[in-house]
Amino acid sequence: MSDRPVVTRIAPSPTGAMHIGTARTALFNWLYARHTGGKFLLRIEDTDRERSTPEAVKVIFDGMAWLGLEADAEPVFQFARADRHRAAVEQLLATGRAYRDYMTVDELTIERERAREEGRVVRSPWRDNTSNDPDAPFVVRLKSPLEGETLIEDQVKGSVRFLNKDLDDLILLRTDGSPTYNLAVVVDDHEMGVTHVIRGDDHLNNAARQTLIYQAMDWEVPVWAHLPLIHGPDGAKLSKRHGAQAVSEFDDMGYLPEAMRNYLARLGWGHGDDELFDDTQAASWFDITDVVSAPARLDWAKLNHINNHYIRLAEMPRLAGLVTRVLKSRDVSLHDGAEALLERTLPVVRDGAKTTLDLADGVMFVLQARPVTLPDKILGLLTEETRGRLSRLADHLSGLETWEIASLEAAIRSFAESEGVGIGKFGQALRGVLAGAASAPDLAGALFCLGKPESLARLDDALSPAV
């Protein structure tokens, strides 16, 4: 390994969604670059022109921005670099390390069949034929070594050996002159100065192919690290039935990006038993050699636990903004002053919330317009006796000067004592009157969040004689 400054990259192909596995790969590259004081780059592998629409590219940018994984340079677009890829092939042709293969489709079919029968890979007769036919269509193939082995010293998988006799001469340029995937990746990684290729282990075989291209170009081969897949909680390959797969779905489900970073960092890597850590800690601890080679399993309970932690740490205006977004998506109309109301309510309801969707459920009780619709169950509790008691409670509360949780708790307790009953005697009815069918925190919390005028108004609504 050389002592070049570390450069890592994520090289997603725009497909219309950013998979959670891509997010984890991006995170590991980002952490490793931060750990080593290196750079983290982004390359959009947009050579599939049908799929690489501007919208699909935007999904990647949005996903990276949401995750907070900023690249250290402008993104590189692979398709725009086709001339660079072709220039590398010219060099390989000039040095005799690639050749023009004029086999026709029919000839190739016959050779494939023969190779299959003989238990070997396809070999073109043009490999050792230096004559050129300027008018016939051709592909350019790498002149790969026929003997020996290609060794991948993978940082995660360990040593993986490929026998060169099993690797056919890779096509570098197609008949239409377009570069192939493995060629483009090698030229781009080399010219971007990438020192460490950290990616999904579905690319492990490509590492052998790509090594041969590096060697033919006399370029330094990068350090390889192939990450195991992310599996569903049941150990099967992650799929639709496991719930979310795309980064945007986790956003829609109310997970915070810092929670995702913390959680994803632990998928295949860890620092002892530490479950909760911030980016600085992760970057200082992260080493690619500590990634485990077995597939990691998505664990919703852990993710929820971590998300709850970051929800409890989040700054209130930001949390209010996130919850507002959820409420708007549910067509909840927000009156003037709703923001202040949210900022007062969220600290009271957030402790048990797993996601911002839970938070949105938790604040609904304060957002209801008066008069609050009371479910039959609550109406049934409002007997003559309870109405009288709640009315006396309203008087008691209206005399309160400080409207804080502690003083409200004390006031409710002293009221119950003065009535000679337990809080249970009127608690459920009071809660219903304040919140209707919505879920609400405990009584003092609910009164505090609603504020004094609104609390008393809701009590008044419920206790006024029906017209």
The residue nearest ligand GLU at its CB is 199
Least separation, in Å, of the C-beta of 352 and ligand GLU? 38
One symbol per residue from 162 to 191: x for binding ligand GLU (CB under 6 A), - otherwise; what is it? -----------------------x------
Nearer to ligand GLU, 153 or 385 (CB): 153
Span 375-414, contacts to ligand GLU by CB under 6 A: none
Query: Which residue among 13, 248, 407, 439 contacts ligand GLU (CB under 6 A)?
Result: 13
Instruction: Please give the distance of CA 443 from its chain centroid, rounded to a whole number.
Output: 38
Total residues binding ligand GLU (CB under 6 A): 7
Residues found in the chain: 467
Nearer to ligand GLU, 8 or 36 (CB): 8
Least separation, in Å, of the C-beta of 14 and ligand GLU? 9
Instruction: Please give the distance of CA 185 from its chain centroid, rounded to a whole number.
Output: 24
Q: Which stretch binds ligand GLU (CB under 6 A): 8-16, 91-99, 357-365, 391-399?
A: 8-16
Closest CA to 200 of 124, 128, 74, 295: 295
Q: Which residues of 146-180 are buried (b: 16+ CB within 10 A; e: fewer)?
A: eeeebebebbbbeebebeeeebbbbbbbeeeeebb
Nearer to ligand GLU, 227 or 378 (CB): 227
Q: Which stretch binds ligand GLU (CB under 6 A): 9-17, 56-64, 130-138, 341-349?
A: 9-17
Structure tokens, 89: 């092939």
Q: Which stretch binds ligand GLU (CB under 6 A): 6-14, 248-256, 309-317, 362-370?
A: 6-14
Backbone angles phi, psi at 12, to 5 degrees: -70, 150
Name the one residue in this structure whose structure tokens are 């029906």.
466
Do residues 460 and 452 lie in contact, with contact meaning Cβ atoms separated by under 8 Å?
no
Do residues 458 and 370 lie in contact, with contact meaning Cβ atoms separated by under 8 Å?
yes
Least separation, in Å, of the C-beta of 16 and ligand GLU? 12
**With the C-alpha atoms ordered 62, 64, 68, 70, is the resulting torsion angle positive or negative?**
negative
Nearer to ligand GLU, 80 or 421 (CB): 80
Q: Is 203 in the site for ligand GLU (CB under 6 A)?
A: yes
Nearer to ligand GLU, 11 or 267 (CB): 11
Span 41-60, contacts to ligand GLU by CB under 6 A: 45
H or E stretch at 228: none
How far apart (Å, rounded) are the C-alpha atoms in residues 307 and 256? Answer: 6
Least separation, in Å, of the C-beta of 224 and ligand GLU? 10
The DSSP-derived string for 173-215 is: E-TTSPBPHHHHHHHHHHHTT--EEEEEGGGHHHHHHHHHHHH
Do residues 240 and 280 lie in contact, with contact meaning Cβ atoms separated by under 8 Å?
no
Query: Which residue among 6, 11, 139, 283 contacts ligand GLU (CB under 6 A)?
Result: 11
Q: Which stretch binds ligand GLU (CB under 6 A): 10-18, 84-92, 157-165, 311-319?
A: 10-18
Closest CA to 75 of 25, 16, 14: 14
Among 39, 58, 165, 240, the active-site one is 240
240 is catalytic: yes
How far apart (Å, rounded) are the C-alpha atoms in residues 103 and 112? Answer: 12
Query: Which residue among 199, 231, 266, 431 contacts ligand GLU (CB under 6 A)?
Result: 199
Least separation, in Å, of the C-beta of 22 and ligand GLU? 7
Pairing state between β 98-101 and 139-142: antiparallel
Nearer to ligand GLU, 185 or 256 (CB): 185
Binding site for ligand GLU (CB under 6 A): 11-13, 45, 185, 199, 203
Active site residues: 240
